[in-house]
A and B are shown apart, each in its own frame.
Chain A
């Protein structure tokens, strides 16, 4: 084992770190010490420099990003700031957002061994460590599987395992659960906690879905956006942090001290709440069905992706489509749009079957924003994109720009689409799709990569579109977001619809899809806003 430094030193010490691109200063005079065996959560709004801070520790910043780095990074008291990532590989392990993009080998076992081969560990040791790691992460039965056939959660665990085999001192993870469904995310986080507790591993983790990670974090490092950071216990940071999970918002609202970090804490404290009048279920007026899908099946090769699904989307309603990764959500969305080939069943959109229409006609019936919104964009500026969208949809010039200004005001028209934030890029793609004035809008995983503020914006946009009489359906893993926007929730598993209905029934019924407020207060409650309203009434 590596010799420990003097007790005052942490495993990792960032000393007076500064980082800038040209004029833009990302980090200024940042000091951070990571103790052995603690899990530090890096949080902050999108684009404030969370990934930069992680990159400084791994060495990827500035080598893979450009920019100027100043200050010093110490590992066990020795400076490693001049070492490239490959020379730190046995000390600092890094797991990125998309595990598949970082895989080098074919099978689980070879992937676990890859790092050790590079470092030059003796074959017998390698063999032993691979076996230990397979057991530690509970993936022993996957050992000879092809990495591409694994589920998202399994891939992420293999990615973590593949750096663990080198026995690093520090594990750095950049949004490890952002692409995962709630259950898979819980699996990965539970694994991480076990590593911290059992092996004394130090973990530095960035994540914007705080509600998932908070129960496991020892400290939070809040990147404020003006170049500095605040590091403290979760309780203290969360009292005034601009981003907070619903649980904390509930605690702030009810004036609980200390703030609850786990559902268990919150439940205990919720006993002190006055009796609240249960929220009355939203009465939804009967609406015209815009999309009628009956018995839709989609088959990829031998795999039945969607099996005989019936679905109705009505004007002015927002439907959220949920389910684990690979449950057939995307296949269903593409089949409804008409591009995805149906094996059987009928789809009726305003009297037409979109599958029989030409692409141009299809666009005026159903608008779809794909999972990677960037696939839609290909021009150099926002203005060009908007002009091309107007021309393509034969809409009056300025239509798309007008839509964009409504969805996400204040985007500079000379900026490159790739420089936009995740949320702005989504708004641009959505505006382009809306230029063709489709009455039905389908969104595939729009919340991916959005922070709380971005999701708030998206929720407002979706509500606006529905208010105009459009039928909206969006696929998402984000229960809290679904609880906010949905008029109806459809849960899919293995290609079939397992439950559908109003969120108050569907979300509250399922333990893995229940939002935090439901977990604390029980069935009829869904979101903090309802509790706030009821509390206001009770106190008045």
Chain B
């Protein structure tokens, strides 16, 4: 083993996926509330530090690099757009590109033209903000297996959760089958253009997908997926009508909330009532489920640390954005700086890197590598 010996601290185990997602969403919230590049870089740094320290040994654990790449591309594209479509007229001109004249119907759109440092910086800040949010989502993905997240939905929604898990699994298989068919179709001559080609490619892939789905459905059915359990017709009807009622309430409530002309009594109160009924419905639906869970993820101190850290970062970020506007949204003409509180927001996110247990799967991975 190459890692530190496990002589002290918590035993290695995988943290509850919801804890990681809460933490990541907290960081993403803080990132979306600022354009200060220093703060954004700090947030991205904290997310990266935690991923490096605590990512799981599952294939998903390796996905972080992809997200980092995506984030970098976002920044580049954002800045590139500012150059291509021009920006503010005013400011220090860095590069005087000729403007390409456009026809009248494209009025309001400008192609090229002088590039100012202000426009570039605005693009950079904006891109960094998006990149930080992307990186936070990537961090959550590589820290917690998304499938385990789907599997920890309440029992009443279990069937939907499984359907989603299966859909996630099917995608790599579909890519695999597409590659196979493409290679196979090159082995015979014939139409290689237009609709004919599409048909040659699609028919075998779809047939394959359909066949796979059927055999998966058969496999799941023979293993007891969707057993009705001991629910009586009356219980089932009660659950059904509760959920329907909840859905109606939430729909009406949302509509009234967004439409200022609707009576206020239909807004938040209705939304709240809908939510309450939904919870009751889910509990009632969950009670008739006789399914059990194998080794469910426990909720312990490590999870609390991650969640509290995420919430604290989000809350402090919000506080900074509302009380220290100059720090949170620096102008493009002055150098950005950090207040002590903003510094805390940027660094606080790293706490789970040391305060949570090492994932069990990462330990296995290190032993294999050693």
Contacts and interface: CB of A to CB of B under 8 A. Distances in A.
Interface of A: 58-60, 63-64, 84-90, 92-94, 96, 98, 101-104, 106, 109-110, 113-123, 126-127, 130, 144, 146, 162-163, 166, 334, 337, 339, 359-360, 362-363, 367-370, 372, 374-379, 388-389, 391-394, 418, 432-433, 435-436
A435 B189 CA distance: 9
Given A59-B222, A86-B226, A393 B59 contact: no
A391 B291 contact: no
A163 B189 CA distance: 45
A375 B227 contact: no
A468 B250 CA distance: 75
- Of B59, B183, B224, B229, most buried by chain A (CB within 10 Å of CB) is B224
Contacts of B222: 58-60, 85-86, 88-89, 92-94, 163
Interface string B216-242: 111111111111110000000000000
Ordered nearest first, which 8 A-B pairs have the shortest CB separation?
Answer: A392-B189, A102-B219, A392-B190, A89-B224, A118-B224, A113-B294, A375-B184, A120-B290
Nearest to A111: B223
Given A85-B222, A106-B58, A374-B207, A126 B292 contact: yes
A120 B291 contact: yes
A378 B200 contact: yes
A364 B191 CA distance: 17
Contact of B189 (A104, A368, A374, A394): A394
A60 B221 contact: yes
Given A101-B215, A121-B292, A363 B220 contact: no
A64 B223 contact: no
Contacts of A59: 222
B190 A391 contact: yes
Given A102-B215, A334-B183, A393-B189, 17 more contacts: A64-B217, A87-B227, A89-B224, A94-B218, A94-B219, A101-B215, A106-B147, A119-B224, A119-B227, A123-B293, A166-B223, A370-B180, A372-B184, A374-B204, A378-B200, A388-B188, A392-B188
A204 to B, nearest CB: 13
- Looking at chain A's contact residues, the main secondary structure is helix
A96 B222 CA distance: 10
B13 to A, nearest CB: 13
Interface string B130-170: 00000000000000010100000000000000100110000
Nearest to B223: A115
A370 B185 CA distance: 10
A376 B294 contact: no
A113 B292 CA distance: 10
Interface of B: 58-59, 145, 147, 162, 165-166, 180-181, 183-191, 199-200, 203-204, 207-208, 212, 214-229, 290-296, 361, 364
Contact of B224 (A58, A90, A109, A127): A90
Nearest to B217: A64
Contacts of B199: 378
Contacts of B212: 101
25 contacts: A63-B221, A86-B224, A86-B227, A89-B222, A94-B219, A94-B222, A96-B218, A96-B219, A101-B215, A101-B216, A104-B219, A117-B292, A117-B294, A118-B223, A118-B225, A120-B290, A121-B292, A130-B294, A337-B187, A370-B184, A378-B185, A378-B203, A379-B203, A388-B190, A393-B188
Contacts of A84: 221
A84 B166 CA distance: 21
Contact of B215 (A90, A98, A379): A98
A432 B188 contact: yes
A28 B180 CA distance: 40
A87 B228 CA distance: 8
Nearest to A338: B186
Contact of B188 (A110, A126, A146, A389): A389
B224 A166 contact: yes
A144 B58 CA distance: 10
Contacts of A367: 187
Nearest to A376: B184
A288 B75 CA distance: 61
A436 B293 CA distance: 57
Highest count of chain B CB atoms <10 Å: which of A89, A334, A378, A391:
A378
A360 B187 contact: no
Task: Report which residue of B216, B217, B222 has the largest number of chain A beta carbons within 10 angstroms of its beta carbon.
Answer: B222
Contact of A389 (B58, B190, B200, B203): B190
A153 to B, nearest CB: 19
A98 B216 CA distance: 10
A104 B162 contact: yes
Contacts of A432: 188
A433 B188 contact: yes
A433 B203 contact: no
A373 to B, nearest CB: 9
A394 B58 CA distance: 50
Contact of B227 (A94, A118, A130, A388): A118
B292 A123 contact: yes
A205 B218 CA distance: 17
A334 to B, nearest CB: 7
B232 to A, nearest CB: 16
B179 to A, nearest CB: 10
B291 A118 contact: yes
B294 A116 contact: yes
Contacts of B181: 375
Contacts of A130: 294
Contact of A101 (B180, B207, B219, B295): B219
Nearest to A400: B188
Nearest to A55: B218
B186 A339 contact: yes
Given A92-B222, A106-B58, A118-B223, A363 B291 contact: no
B229 to A, nearest CB: 8
Nearest to A394: B189
Given A86-B222, A106-B147, A360-B189, A116 B183 contact: no
A156 to B, nearest CB: 13
B180 A377 contact: no
B218 A102 contact: yes
Nearest to B168: A106
